[in-house]
Amino acid sequence: MAATTTPPPPRTNRIGLTTIDYRGGKTTLCAGCGHNAISERIIDAMYEMGVPPERVAKLSGIGCSSKSPAYFMSRSHSFNAVHGRMPSVATGAVLANRNLIALGVSGDGDTASIGMGQFVHLMRRNLPVIYIIEDNGVYGLTKGQFSATADLGSTLKTGVMNDLPPVDTCALAISLGATFVGRSFSGDKRQLHSMLKAAIAHKGTVMLDVVSPCTTFNDHEGSTKSYKYMKDHEEPLQDIDFVPAFEDITVDYKEGTVTEVTMHDGSRLRLHKLEESYDPTNRIRSIYRLHESHEKGEILTGVFYVNTQAPNFVDLLNITEQPLATLPESVVRPGREVLDQVMEELR
């Protein structure tokens, strides 16, 4: 009789959870949709960083992309806002509970079309939030109309050509005040994974534009957001390594080849330069470089800008360390005397 072997126990992270603890419902998105790959990367990054799922608030608007938080981290808080209105809900959630890790998932339509007004104000506040745009250049959920990130001259399946210039959400976010801005590709597993881990360690607005092909409506010849186009035109700025604060790894590099950024929690973001002169802490230059990449027709990816020194919105407002949501009523509600005093002043 063959001996039975007991399977090894499942691998756990530093808080004792398995990847299953970070999973969500079964996806209803189309097979091959880039958004599913991004959900997988979020699961891996949260697992590896040992983030308690209950500390995460998943926030989204409307679209296939905005549906995707249902497909990861079921144990986290979740709120599906009205189309383009996720930023105001995220702001409220973070101000009410500063201990939450806010993870916003939006689409290019949800952000750069209907949600532009809210997006702009979120970026200028440096609110601690990870804001991901799952960018396919179309409104996938409503059957593939061009969005505001579609490139000039790209075509729909029907042959219709886009004759408007795109909004570069990264250049916009940097110029408005976001403090961690990058672009990746749902098919670039390694780069996206490192960027997401660094995003979790950053205490300010992280804005990641992730090109995420829509296999049903925008993956054909003539599209600039297809798998093939991205594979042929992606120009990474750096090879990215992320060393979390709980891992003590020191390696020596040749001077000038690596930019190392120390994150708020002591983690280290290592950007192995592929372009020697690129400095991700130079705001003006990063915007210039993004515009230059458009002119050249390349799709630049990588971490474009990081600033770990700027004050974030919660600190600016001087909010008490204890989350407002957990303060007792006796502290948050003004007493009778305060009310009387206000009334007296209004007389």
Ligand X SMILES: Cc1ncc(C[n+]2csc(CCOP(=O)(O)OP(=O)(O)O)c2C)c(N)n1
Q: Measured from the CB atom, is 114 or 306 closer to ligand X?
A: 114
Write out the binding residues for ligand X, residues 26-85 only, by CB under 6 A.
62-65, 83
DSSP string, 183-234: EEETT-HHHHHHHHHHHHH--SEEEEEEE---TTTS-STT-SSSHHHHHHHE
Among candidate residues 251, 228, 298, the one with its CA nearest the CA of residue 32: 228
- For position 140 contacting ligand SF4 by CB under 6 A, the verdict is yes
217 binds, among ligand SF4, Mg ion, ligand X, none (CB under 5 to 8 A by kind): ligand SF4
- Beta bridge pairs of residue 58: 78, 103
In whole angstroms, give the CA distance from residue 269 to residue 261.
5
Q: Which stretch binds Mg ion (CB under 5 A): 95-103, 136-144, 287-295, 301-309?
A: 136-144
- Neighbouring C-beta atoms of residue 25, cutoff 10 Å: 10
Question: Is 106 in contact with 61 (CB distance < 8 Å)?
Answer: yes
Q: Which stretch binds ligand X (CB under 6 A): 137-145, 156-164, 167-175, 286-294?
A: 137-145
Taking the complex as a whole, how short is the minimal distance between the CB of residue 147 and ligand SF4, in angstroms? 11
29 binds, among Mg ion, ligand X, ligand SF4, none (CB under 5 to 8 A by kind): ligand SF4
Question: Is 58 in contact with 77 (CB distance < 8 Å)?
Answer: yes
Counting residues that bind ligand X (by CB under 6 A) gives 18
- For position 60 contacting ligand SF4 by CB under 6 A, the verdict is no
- For position 218 contacting Mg ion by CB under 5 A, the verdict is no
- For position 136 contacting ligand SF4 by CB under 6 A, the verdict is yes
Write out the binding residues for ligand SF4, residues 207-226 only, by CB under 6 A.
214-217
Q: Which long-range contacts (CB under 8 A, 24 or more apart) does 334-342 make?
A: none
In whole angstroms, give the CA distance from residue 68 to residue 134.
10
Which residues in this chain contact ligand X in the complex, by CB under 6 A?
Answer: 62-65, 83, 107-110, 114, 134, 136, 138-142, 147
Which residues in this chain contact Mg ion in the complex, by CB under 5 A?
Answer: 107-109, 136
